[in-house]
Amino acid sequence: MKIKAINNKNMSNSIISTKNKSTMKGLVYGGPGKIKYIEVNMPKITKSTDAIVKMVKTTICGTDLGILHGKTPSVKPGTTLGHEGVGVIEEVGSAVTKFKKGDRVIISCITADGTCEYCKKQMYGHCKDGGWILGNLINGTQAEYVRIPHANNSLYHTPEGIEDETLVMLSDILPTGHEIGVINGCVKPGDTIAIVGAGPIGMSALLTAQFYSPAKIYMIDLDENRLDFAKKWGATHTINSGENDVVKKILSETMDGVDVAIEAVGIPETFNVCQQIVRPGGHVANIGVHGKSVDLKIQDLWIKNITITMGLVNTNTIPMLLKTVVSKKIQPEKLITHHFKLNEIMKAYEVFGNAAKEKAMKVILTN
Ligand SMILES: [Zn+2]
Ligand SMILES: [Zn+2]
């Protein structure tokens, strides 16, 4: 009897499933300025369209820092943060047909049911039962496990032969730079473009803008180290905005401004630069997440036939971007500067929060 009992115990230990695990570790928001890496409840399948994903790699986004600085009131204390990552399917609901236990997946930062009016227009960012909810309205990916609603439309199979950490760049930053910066900005062959802000999103715009062969790419930032990176990755011109009058310099070096000005910071000053450097017929594509209003110089702009765009990523270009990563047309792993274990996430936040001092671009956390 005694031996049998021990054997049973051993057996149950060897087939530990998440169903038996009731808690895990996650990075929880506690209100402005407060985060903690603590024990939280394991996610469970709540709808037949859900999947539970065991995180393999995740990262911290500028948006997470915005949440931490109180810029995003929709995020309630107690929410696990994070909306990017690669993982392995642990469990699926009965209606999930495209994925099964053991599949390796890229998690889109945008959840999409695939059936609502917005989804039918590929505006997944505004899905009636999704959009940006991960690490915002529901618990996110900076944890050991995450629940992904509408798994069929919100996950992507990982291709063979590409590192997981490379694929993490496809969750958010690459599609955001590409869709909201480059596509909305209508970058065309021969264009002169300016990207204001050389953080991960600005750099993603820099990498993906080159699909469309612009003639000149200005990269503008305060941080000389980031400008050096930008030069290596395809910028033809860099301007340190701390040392130069950006507007004056661009207007003197171009005929009458740039065809496309991409805003990748999210503060009034950078938007202001964009609206002053755009030439007649050009585009201002705002990517930045703004916390306050800007002064739109409509008195100067109305006569110039310009287009101003802004928006939330839809991630509808993930499949296309995946092909360019597989073919090595772009190498988004260039953006990764730091590696941490998931349980070192507090340290990772500190490093990412002091990006200029730490020379940090994208940090990878491994579960
Ligand atoms: Zn993000
Ligand atoms: Zn939808």
* HSE-CB of 223 using CA atoms within 13 angstroms: 19
Q: Which residue in 136, 137, 119 sits closest to 128, CA to CA?
A: 119
Q: Over the stretch 129-169, which tens digit does the pLDDT of each residue have?
A: 999 999 999 999 999 999 999 999 999 999 999 999 999 99
Ligand 2 centroid from CA 55, angstroms:
24
**pLDDT classification of 8: cutoffs 50, 70, 90:** very low
78: left (phi over 0), alpha (psi -120 to 50) or beta: left
pTM of the model: 0.92
Nearest to 213 by CA among 237, 239, 181, 182: 182
| For range 78-95, the mean pLDDT | 98
**Ligand 2 center–CA 113 separation, angstroms:** 4
Q: Which domains does the chain have, with CATH numbers?
A: 22-172+315-366 (3.90.180.10), 175-310 (3.40.50.720)
pLDDT of residue 250: 98
User: Residue 242: its pLDDT value, please?
Assistant: 96
- Find the helix packing angle between 246-253 and 268-277, rounded to 10°: 20
Sequence-distant (6+) residues with CB within 8 A of 65 are: 349, 352, 353
CA of 71 to the centre of ligand 1 (A): 14
CA of 123 to the centre of ligand 1 (A): 17
Alpha-carbon distance 280 to 92, whole Å?
Answer: 52
> What spacing in Å lies between the alpha carbon of 141 and ligand 2's midpoint?
21
Tokens of 55: 């995180």
Closest ligand relative to 117 C-alpha: 2
Beta pairing class for 85-92 and 104-107: antiparallel
pLDDT for the residue 71? 83
Alpha carbon of 160 to ligand 2 centroid (Å): 29
pLDDT tens for each residue of 206-218: 999 999 999 999 9
Whole-angstrom distance, CA of residue 186 vs CA of residue 202: 16
204: pLDDT strictly greater than 50: yes
pLDDT range class, residue 292, cuts 50, 70, 90: confident
pLDDT-wise least confident of 77-81, 183-187, 290-294:
290-294
Task: Give the Cα-Cα-Cα angle 186, 191, 197 (nearest 5 degrees).
Answer: 75
Provide the pLDDT for residue 18.
Answer: 55
Q: How far apart are CA 333 and CA 218, in angstroms?
A: 22
CA 228 distance to own-chain centroid: 22
Task: Measure the CA–CA gap between 196 and 186, rounded to whole angstroms.
Answer: 16
Q: List, in order, residues 6 or more apart from 71 with CB less than 8 Å away.
A: 289, 291
Residue 15 confidence (pLDDT): 43
Q: Which amino acid is present at 254? A: T
Dihedral of alpha carbons 112, 116, 120, 125, sign: negative
Query: Which ligand gives the minimal distance to the CA of 111?
Result: 2
Ligand nearest to the CA of 171: 1
Reduced to 3 states (helix: H, G, I; strand: E, B; else coil), residue 221 is: strand
Ligand closest to Cα of 152 equals 2
Q: 148 alpha carbon to ligand 2 midpoint, in Å?
A: 14
Q: Is the pLDDT of residue 64 over 70?
A: yes
The pairing of beta strand 192-196 with beta strand 258-263: parallel
The span from the CA of 270 to the CA of 177, in Å, is 16
pLDDT tier for residue 40 given thresholds of 50, 70 and 90 = very high
CA-CA distance, 181 to 207, in Å (whole number)?
11
- 118 alpha carbon, closest ligand: 2
Give residue 150's pLDDT. 98
Q: Amino acid letter at 32?
A: P
